[in-house]
Amino acid sequence: MKLIYDVNDKPKFGQLLVFAFQQLLAILAATIAVPSIIGNGMSQSAALFGAGVGTIVYLLFTKFKSPVFLGSSFAFLGSMFAAFAGAVSVEAGHAGLIIGAIFAGLVYVVIAIVVKFAGVKWIDKLMPPVVIGPTVAIIGLSLSGNAIGDMLKFAEFDAANSVYVMGAKGWIGLICALVTLLTVMICSVYGKKMTKLIPFIIGILAGYAVAAIFTVIGIKTGNDNFMVIDFSLFNNMQWYPDFTFFKAKKGFAAVDAKYIATIAVAYVPVAFVVFAEHIADHKNLSSVIDRELLKEPGLHRTLLGDGVGSMVGAIFGGCPNTTYGESVGCVAITGNASVVTILTTAIMAILISFFGPFVTFLATIPSCVMGGVCVTLYGFIAVSGLKMLQNVDLNDNSNLFVVSAILIAGIGGMALKLGQVTLTEIACALILGIIVNLILSKKASE
């Protein structure tokens, strides 16, 4: 696709702030969701601060050539729970979060050193388009349930029949989601100039406005079905980031060798799994900006940026970071690949984390509204992966079987738990695809 702003382009200052805010909205829900899920006193503001700092570290290592934002990684949720489960106190658990992120980051550093000397040709051999294309598609498709679940947040899910039962509140939430979704699409397709560049901001504002109208009606009439926005979040809002290293200060004294070993087992294997997703994300971003990021600035630099960025970010927010598909989707749909926009987003995230009312306002954006946005973001990730298959001959059974194995394993939910380690459906699909491709490509080359 044709980019409106290339990697090295610098939008005007006023536009830059708007574009950065849009990126922030795209990554916000996932970034602050991780500390909410983990609990144990983890701070959403601190996670936002850590994501901003981690992104700046990433940009420095990648020489400002890779326009993507880093946010809290869902892949490490099990590892973070293990850190608290194995700790003698909550403070020690926070210390474990920092230690675990350092372990995960060191895995990336070691792999980066290997890549620096071994090059990336082996990656092209292990992960040609026939493997990486459907894997990227799976990244988007695996998130589709989250997007639809958010759109229908207020509907009741009948697990026995795998169907959503639509009550009054379910329909109201769906209306808000569809207003958001259609506004984003219309702005992106029919919009002119600035409108085309900020479809997500316009879409979210439209969805939020409709949700606010319903909520006000609900408050005035006392009807809970209309109350889509939870304004009660303002009652106990956090005015400043509660950094992880502050909470961990006393906890380090309770850390012993056994606990460190527990942390290592929980974090290190997951880091190897996320490495595969790191490659897929950067292959996808490379196709969007038409530059091979694994060669320039180089996979070793993207790995160092991701790894060290995770270490630094976790010191502040406790969450290891990872490159966000939502950020890549935002770059692709808006045609804005300006790395200055990403840098401004990171700085904005850091500054906003100190302003409690604004962080709380962002947190009040209803899930149904964000679900409408995510349909476009996750959908674009899936489609961009399929586009990588354009030059792959699917009439050749060796290619057809590789793609089939990856898609079915990923969509079918082939996630495996091996002791403390969880192999996500993306990782399982990618590993299976690599194995199948190595076996069948030998036959095809004979």
Q: What pLDDT score was predicted for residue 274?
A: 79
Q: What pLDDT score was predicted for residue 206?
A: 95
Give the DSSP per-residue string, 22-63.
HHHHHHHHHHHHHHHHH-TT--HHHHHHHHHHHHHHHHHHTT
Please give the Cα distance from 356 to 239 (Å, whole number). Answer: 4
Please give the Cα distance from 350 to 347 (Å, whole number). Answer: 5
| Nearest alpha-carbon partner for 268 in 305, 307, 301 | 307
Q: What pLDDT score was predicted for residue 176?
A: 96
Residue 405 to residues 4, 131, 132, 432, Cα–Cα distance (Å): 37, 10, 12, 7
Low-confidence ranges of the chain (pLDDT < 50): none
Give the DSSP per-residue string, 134-153.
HHHHHHHHHTHHHHHHHHTT
Please give the Cα distance from 325 to 328 (Å, whole number). Answer: 5
Q: What pLDDT score was predicted for residue 222?
A: 92
Per DSSP, the three-state class of 155 is coil
Element of type H or E holding 418: strand 416-418
Q: Where are the domains of the chain?
A: 13-445
Residue 170's CB: how many other CB atoms inside 10 A?
20
